[in-house]
Structure 1
Amino acid sequence: MEYYILEFVRYALDIYTYMIIGYVLLSWFPNARESQIGQLLAKVVEPYLSIFRKFIPPIGGVLDLSPIIAIFALNFIKLGLYSVLGFLLGVG
């Protein structure tokens, strides 16, 4: 049972990472962020990305590196959370 909790957390954070990547890729296509999928991803991903955009300005006003830093941070969170839950649940 404990293993399934860890796997759920891992998969949930992996899916969120893919959602960030998908949201960034939508910016490459005109009007893609105005689609239903783009709006859904914006509602889910923008609150997290806005934290990083406060501290990391776009380079040259065009290149936004905040999603890259946000994904790195999410991976550190995932590893830390996975380790703490594994320790608390006595798994892995």
Structure 2
Amino acid sequence: MTVVGAVLTVILYLFLLVLIGRLILDYLKLYAESTSKQPWRPQGVVLLFAEPIWTITEPVLVRLRRIFKPLRLGNVSLDLSFMVLFLIVLILIRVVGALTT
């Protein structure tokens, strides 16, 4: 069980790193679109990192967005699905770690 738990923990940590990469890419997109007024499309080396990150995280986030609708605060919409997924992954890391020791 400890080997399976260790593998699951590593997978969850890697997914957490991918989520942090998604957060960075989302902020880059937000900044680029606010300065140029055009849709941001990653190119070159950034595309090599962005495509796998979006491919891994988007299916999970789409499912969570169906459950947790964006929170409207005036003219701003806050997407809660990313925060919920981040918390779920952190909790799963703790649970798997507790079960393997």
Asked whether the two chains share a fold, i.e. TM above 0.5, the reply is yes
User: RMSD across aligned C-alpha pairs, in angstroms?
Assistant: 2.3
Match of 1:16 in 2: 15
The equivalent of 1:58 in structure 2 is 70
1:47 and 2:46 matched: no
> Counterpart of 1:37?
49
Count of aligned pairs between the two proteins: 85
**Counterpart amino acid of residue 57 in structure 2:** V
Offset at residue 59 of structure 1 (A): 2.8
Kindly indicate whether structure 1 or structure 2 has the higher relative contact order, using CA contacts under 8 Å at least 6 residues apart: 2
Give the Cα–Cα distance (whole angstroms) in 2 for the partners of residues 6 and 66 of structure 1. 26
Spell out the pairing of 1:72-87 with structure 2 (5 A cutoff).
72-82=87-97, 86=100
SS in 2 for 1:62: strand
Give the share of equivalent positions with the same residue, in percent. Answer: 15
Aligned equivalents of 1:77, 1:33: Cα separation in 2: 32
Partner of 1:6: 5
Query: Which structure 2 residue ranges, 5 or more long, are not aligned?
Result: 33-39
More strand by share: 2
Q: 1:27-52, CA deviations, whole angstroms, 9 ceiling, x for partnerless residues?
A: 11133656221111111111111111
Paired residue secondary structure (2:3): helix
Which residue is 2:84 aligned to? Answer: 69
- Conserved 8 A contact 1:13-1:74: yes
Q: Secondary structure at the match of 2:77?
A: coil
Which ranges of structure 1 fall in alignment gaps of 5 or more residues?
A: 87-91
